[in-house]
């Protein structure tokens, strides 16, 4: 297979698979929402709300570069519905941790996204 394998999965089906799988790689108390991007079929919008009293929520753009690789970008971090500075050490640690989990979820879905 070439390294330019394109993603050939219906965006809605992919978003549903992510919505089912992502919670299994995160803390049980974290809440997630995964939606397909209306403009770009190879992009998912991921919202993660943390548990506990911190009330942080993280929004990510997850782009399928090809059938196997995803690029994850932080879009926004909020606390109690207000955007916060994501450059603090505590938030950066959480951001990096969630990015790792998003990549882990993508790996678990390789059987769905890998072209046949």
Domain presence at residue 3: no
Q: Is the pTM of this model over 0.75?
A: yes
CATH at residue 22: 3.30.530
90 part of a folded domain = yes
28 is in which domain, residue-wise? 11-113
Note the pLDDT tens digit of each residue in 9-32. 889 999 999 999 999 999 999 999
For residue 51, the model assigns a pLDDT of: 77
First-to-last CA distance in the chain?
9
For the stretch 54-102, pLDDT in tens is 789 999 999 999 888 999 999 999 998 899 999 999 999 999 999 999 9
Instruction: For residue 3, name the pLDDT band (cuts at 50, 70, 90).
Output: very low
The total of structural domains in the chain comes to 1
Is 54 within a domain? Answer: yes
* pLDDT at position 107 over 80: yes
């Amino acid at each position: 297979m070439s390294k330019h394998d394109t993603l050939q999965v219906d965006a809605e089906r992919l978003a549903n698979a992510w919505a089912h799988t992502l919670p299994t790689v995160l803390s049980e108390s974290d809440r997630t929402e995964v939606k397909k991007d209306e403009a770009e079929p190879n992009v998912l919008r991921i919202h993660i709300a943390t548990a506990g009293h911190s009330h942080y929520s993280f929004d990510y753009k997850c782009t399928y570069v090809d059938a196997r690789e995803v690029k994850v970008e932080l879009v926004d971090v909020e606390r109690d519905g207000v955007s916060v500075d994501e450059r603090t050490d505590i938030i950066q640690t959480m951001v990096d941790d969630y990015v790792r989990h998003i990549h882990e979820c993508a790996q678990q879905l390789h059987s769905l996204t890998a072209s046949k």
